[in-house]
Amino acid sequence: MFPPPGLLSRGPDPAREYLARVGEAGIDHVCCGDPVSFFGLGFDGLVQATALAVLHPVLPVHLGVYLLPLRHPVLVARQLADFAQLAPGRLVLGVGVGGEDRHEISVCGVDPATRGRRMNECLAVVRQLLDGGAVSFHGAFFDLDEVVIAPAPAVPIPVIVGGRSDEAVRRAGWATAGSVAGTLRSVLPPLPRWRIHPELHPYPACFVCGPDRRPGDGLRLCVGPVPGTALSADVWCPGEELTDANGQVRPEFIWAALDCPGAIGALLDAAPDDPRCVLGRLAARQLGPVKGGEPLVVAGWRLAAQGRKILAGSALFTASGQPVAAAQATWIRLRRDACR
């Protein structure tokens, strides 16, 4: 939820008291925006997020949307890494290109017509810098050599891409996939819990994740928690029955593989008797060829939650960590009385 306007300007004590009441009420996160100069008004999003985080010991902060194309990505990466030291694992970063007030963009020295391309470069640079290595990047807007931001966040910062255009959906796919690829390169997926306790599965006959499916009749994906991360993952080796004449996995099975793993990854903290959930919407994109018979890693994770609504990410990676497909989905938890 968004705090009331002007809360932080009243001083730390009223804000601390308000956030304490929010936490006691069971609300699982607070939000803030990022108006730079929206018809003259504004409050920097990362400054707001930092203030909210230090005024409460555990509440996550969802920043959305942050006008990333108006900033230099190296400075943003530095701020995000610093936030991660102050409040590790408590920031969800939503980014967007803005648009309601084009003057807000131009006064920052950015041509509004270039903001989409600047966003793509900013996301690519920030994502690489937060992995912790030296980054060289030579694009149309940013030219960087051997830049390092340390220490890198110990817990990956989830990124949500806002927007209504087709390009925003495509951007969400590759940006989200890239943010978890580095994590999975060095981590072997564990044995999923549904294989240990198949009787706990809420939908045992599900085509995607049902343990009652026979080999060759369903995908039988059962993602489980990856130790030390906020991800769930499983290994998938798609059989020839899922491929086309060229040996490529057919798109309908790629979309299916991105379906349930996102929900399971987003509900890692759920008890076995928690209400079930149903899919509200899934937006997916294939990023590269997916060959049958080759091992893949499928991963799912939570991006955000509000009440019974859960936003989940999922992706497919090659054995070397290259993302080949990604999705974002909205899942709705059913009420307990609807599950009887």
Residue 75 has pLDDT above 90, yes or no: yes
Decide if pLDDT at 154 tops 50: yes
Q: What is the DSSP letter of 140?
A: S
Q: Higher-confidence residue: 10 or 98?
A: 10
Minimum mean pLDDT among 203-207, 208-212, 225-229: which range? 225-229
Residues 6+ apart with CB under 8 A from 245: none
Annotated domain spans of the chain: 8-163, 193-339
Give the C-alpha separation, 339 to 277, whole Å: 10
From residue 132, alpha-carbon distances to 135, 186, 271 in Å are: 9, 14, 34
Average pLDDT over residues 193-212: 70
Per-residue tokens: 74: 């190296």
pLDDT at 179 over 80: no
Query: What local confidence, expressed as pLDDT, does residue 269 receive?
Result: 57
Instruction: Dump pLDDT digits (tens) for 266-313.
Output: 876 554 455 578 888 888 888 888 988 888 888 888 887 777 888 888
Architecture per CATH, domain 193-339, reads as Roll (3.10)
Count CB atoms within 10 A of the CB of residue 179: 24
Is pLDDT of 80 > 70? yes
- Lowest-confidence pick of 95-99, 108-112, 204-208, 305-309: 305-309
Give me the sign of the Cα torsion angle 216, 217, 219, 223: negative
Higher-confidence position of 166 and 214: 214
| Angle ∠(215,220,224) on CA atoms, nearest 5 | 140
Mean pLDDT of the chain: 82
Q: Do domains 8-163 and 193-339 have the same CATH topology?
A: no
Residue 199: the pLDDT is 63
Given pLDDT bands bounded at 50, 70 and 90, which one contains residue 247? Answer: very high
Comparing 153 with 172, the larger pLDDT belongs to 153
**134 vs 173, more confident:** 134
Range with the lowest mean pLDDT among 61-65, 77-81, 87-91, 185-189?
185-189
Q: Residue 193: is its pLDDT beyond 60?
A: no
Q: The domain 8-163 is classified under which CATH number: 3.40.50.2300, 2.10.109.10, 3.90.226.10, 3.20.20.30?
A: 3.20.20.30
Structure tokens at 306: 């509000």
Over residues 161-170, the mean pLDDT reads 70
For the chain, the C-alpha Rg in angstroms (whole number) is 21
Q: What is the mean pLDDT of residues 218-231?
A: 75
Q: Residue 197 above 60 pLDDT?
A: no
